[in-house]
Amino acid sequence: MDAALALERATEHAPHWSRAAYAEMIEAGSATARRRLIVAESAETSTRRIAGFAAGAIARGGSAELESVAVAEGARRGGIGRALCEAVIVWCREEGATEVVLEVRATSAAATALYARLGFVEIARRPRYYRDPEDDAVVMRLAL
């Protein structure tokens, strides 16, 4: 958990959640949603480090959310983000979700392109949703 928190804090635009929120994902989820944290470890055999993680949640009613994806700076552009997203999608499908939704900064062209390659389509925009810096949120959906 410490490594996931450190990576999240080092990722500028990742949602910054509390230790308790991560503990909930690791342990059992909550009464209103099932949550999962999927972690990718570094391929280096000398040290075990987190290369990235993705968080997903499934609410009652079958809608799921890809809540967060973070990849360590030195591990980016190597397919880890895609693999993490795919793992969350597979988990959502196995848990009976009928769709996965996400929000991404409009200026995050690489992330938006990745989500589009995974089959997500833009369904809405939320003007000035993000702060520091201000940015629109692009809401995307993948039907399962």
Q: Can you tell me the distance from the alpha carbon of 113 to that of 126, in angstroms, rounded to the nearest whole number?
A: 18
The active-site residue, picked from 12, 99, 115, 122, is 115
**Whether 142 contacts 99, CB under 8 Å:** yes
Answer yes or no: 8 catalytic: no
Residue 27 catalytic?
no
Separation of alpha carbons 61 and 42, rounded Å: 36
The total of other beta-carbon atoms located within 10 Å of residue 48's CB is 9
Conformational region of residue 61, where left means phi above 0, alpha means psi within -120 to 50, and beta covers everything else: left
Cα–Cα–Cα angle for 120, 121, 127, rounded to 5 degrees: 115
- Type of residue at 76: R
Catalytic residue numbers read: 103, 115
